[in-house]
Amino acid sequence: MLLQDMKTIPWRYISQILFTVLVLWIGIEFFLFVHQLESGQPVTIRRPPGVEAFLPIASLMSLRYWLATGIFTPIHPSGLVIFMVILTIAIFLKKAFCSWVCPIGFLSEMLARVQKWIFGQSRYLPRWLDWPLRSLKYLLLGFFLWAILVQMDIAGIAAFLESPYSRVSDIKMLKFFTDMSPLTARVLAGLFLLSILIPYFWCRYLCPYGALLGGLSWLSPLKIRRNAASCTDCKKCTKVCPSNIPVHLKNTVYSDECHACLTCVAACPVKNTLDFSTSKPSLKLDSLRVVMVILCLFLGSSLLARALGVWHNDITVQEYREHVRKMSDGLEYSHPGR
């Protein structure tokens, strides 16, 4: 009975809320850390390494550098650790990161609910327009992969990672939001509005991170699988799918847009008709097991990275102060490639 009750708990929403709270806490802590640097106060708050999760481009560079040289860069090491965890999740759990962890995915889901509340139902773009727009995020991903994997050699990547711009890229990222330009504010407001009018607009059409995970998700042995023999063709799975996948027509859902949210599985009225499983039906995961795997990967990787000394970066408070002073004096650091 207890196990059955555990299965009815909305584990995905709990996971989304926990990770969103964690991200907000990291953001606030990092903001206070930078404020102490800028004000000249004694630094009593330690920089949270988790802030490096917001530096995926640097993490991709660090991954290539590590694979080529065997050197785990000390500049933003936790970013690389988190990046590899996210890639691992995609390889084994499809795009579960997007619907179980990512705060932007959580916000997009809430905005999709606003759309449904306003219009009475979810409204998606017609497929003739949806398909070409979905290619945009793959074009963005292709540009980043081409720039990092083709255009840059290992020496260039090393020079970038050691550059002053890279060393303070976390602060630059923070300033992007705290010192937001009018243009940035308008763009973000536009994306916010579009995400209400078109469900998951950013995630579905523009997010290169999601494109990368979508490509890797094809490798996942776990997929949504339908037992056609017991299916009643009620179409409830398709109606609730946030990615607008016609689940009721698929024996196995291979789509790169499947987030493994298991919403379709929960909506199916016939037991064992829809499952998130391997080709062997006995190997399947429910919501509780998915969240346990995700938490174990993040927690385990963090503990291992701490034990190996590759969690905190090697940038001292004194060096951060010097970078902040130069930035405040108008010596604004620009991208090394500019």
The tokens of 238 are what? 């398709």
Give pLDDT tens digits for 23-50. Answer: 999 999 999 999 999 988 899 999 999 9
Q: Using the predicted structure, report yes or no on whether residue 186 has a pLDDT greater than 60.
A: yes
- E-only strand ranges, 188-273: 223-226
How many C-beta neighbours within 10 Å does residue 238 have? 16
Least confident of 67-76, 121-130, 200-209, 263-272: 121-130
C-alpha pair distances (Å), 40 with each of 30, 34, 37, 205, 320: 16, 10, 5, 43, 11
Task: Collect all residues with Cβ–Cβ distance below 8 Å to 330 and sequence separation of at least 6.
Answer: none
**How many residues can be counted in the chain?**
338
Helix ranges, 49-102 (H): 56-69, 77-93, 96-100
Q: What is the mean pLDDT of residues 196-219?
A: 95
Domain positions in the chain are: 11-220+293-328
Q: Using the predicted structure, report yes or no on whether residue 2 has a pLDDT greater than 50.
A: no
Look at residue 95 and give its three-state secondary structure. coil
Q: State the pLDDT at residue 6.
A: 56
Q: What is the mean pLDDT of residues 168-189?
A: 93
Q: State the pLDDT at residue 144.
A: 96
> How far is 191 from 167, CA to CA, in rounded Å?
29
Q: State the pLDDT at residue 101.
A: 97
> How far is 59 from 232, CA to CA, in rounded Å?
46
How many C-beta neighbours within 10 Å does residue 312 have? 15
- Phi/psi of residue 30, nearest 5 degrees: -70, -40
> How far is 192 from 190, CA to CA, in rounded Å?
5
**Model pTM greater than 0.75?**
yes
Looking at the chain, the whole-number percentage of residues with pLDDT higher than 90 is 83
Q: State the pLDDT at residue 334.
A: 60
Look at residue 44 and give its three-state secondary structure. coil
Q: Using the predicted structure, report yes or no on whether residue 338 has a pLDDT greater than 80.
A: no
Task: Collect all residues with Cβ–Cβ distance below 8 Å to 13 and sequence separation of at least 6.
Answer: none
The tokens of 45 are what? 């708050």
Q: State the pLDDT at residue 1.
A: 44
Q: Using the predicted structure, report yes or no on whether residue 8 has a pLDDT greater than 80.
A: no
Q: Which residues pair with 275 in a beta bridge?
A: 225
Q: Using the predicted structure, report yes or no on whether residue 235 has a pLDDT greater than 50.
A: yes
What strand order describes the sheet that includes 274-277? 223-226, 274-277, 284-285
Residue position matching structure tokens 């860069």: 73
- E-only strand ranges, the chain: 223-226, 274-277, 284-285
Looking at the chain, the whole-number percentage of residues with pLDDT higher than 70 is 95
Helix ranges, the chain (H): 2-7, 11-39, 56-69, 77-93, 96-100, 103-119, 127-145, 154-162, 164-167, 169-178, 182-197, 201, 208-216, 236-240, 263-267, 287-308, 317-328
> How far is 106 from 99, CA to CA, in rounded Å?
7
Q: State the pLDDT at residue 9.
A: 83
> How far is 28 from 137, CA to CA, in rounded Å?
30
Q: Using the predicted structure, report yes or no on whether residue 77 has a pLDDT greater than 50.
A: yes
Q: Which residues pair with 225 in a beta bridge?
A: 252, 275
Q: State the pLDDT at residue 336.
A: 57
Q: State the pLDDT at residue 40.
A: 86
> How far is 148 from 65, CA to CA, in rounded Å?
10
Q: Using the predicted structure, report yes or no on whether residue 332 has a pLDDT greater than 60.
A: no
| pLDDT band, very low/low/confident/very high, at 3 (cuts 50, 70, 90) | very low
Question: Which range among 1-5, 91-95, 332-336 has the greatest average pLDDT?
Answer: 91-95
Task: Judge contact between 143 and 273, C-beta under 8 A.
Answer: no
Q: What is the mean pLDDT of the chain?
A: 92
